[in-house]
Amino acid sequence: MYIRDGRAPIPESEATSRVMSANTGKNTKPEIAFRKTLRDVGISGYRLHWKKAPGSPDIAYPGRKIAIFVHGCYWHRCPYCDLPLPKSHTDFWAEKFRKNKERDAKKKAALETEGWDVLVFWECQIKRDVIDCAEKVKELYDRKS
């Protein structure tokens, strides 16, 4: 059963409640697959959710000032997937997603202000070609060595 915490409207069905409650913010399947592939292409030594960098990037290479965010297509509103808004509580979700995008932009800007290179990979990109995504990181990693 959905426990009301005030952060979201009460879902209209039990199934929706279960799905929404199962979402996590860290160590998602795309993040785990991406980290494994980064190791496979030869660039381990990253830090996870590194709090010493602005915005605590999902993956960070502090010595090279490379920050990586792995964005879920639904929650961060993927520009490639163009997902529709939920059918119920539309105003709430539109505002929630707008704030998520605004927060993402602020994190990226704060990192760049401090001299970090910021890469954003979308869940759909990782699912489609995780090796290509990891190779992009490796190119930047090697350039900054």
Q: Which long-range contacts (CB under 8 A, 24 or more apart) does 12-19 make?
A: 12/88
8-12, 35-39, 122-126: least confident range:
8-12
Distances (CA, A) of 89 to 9, 10, 19: 7, 9, 16
Q: Check if the beta carbon of residue 68 is closer than 8 Å to that of residue 119.
A: yes
| CATH superfamily assigned to domain 23-143 | VSR Endonuclease (3.40.960.10)
Q: Check if the beta carbon of residue 40 is closer than 8 Å to that of residue 27.
A: no
pTM score, whole prediction: 0.83
pLDDT digits (tens, 9 = 90+) for 63-106: 999 999 999 999 999 999 989 998 888 999 899 999 999 999 99
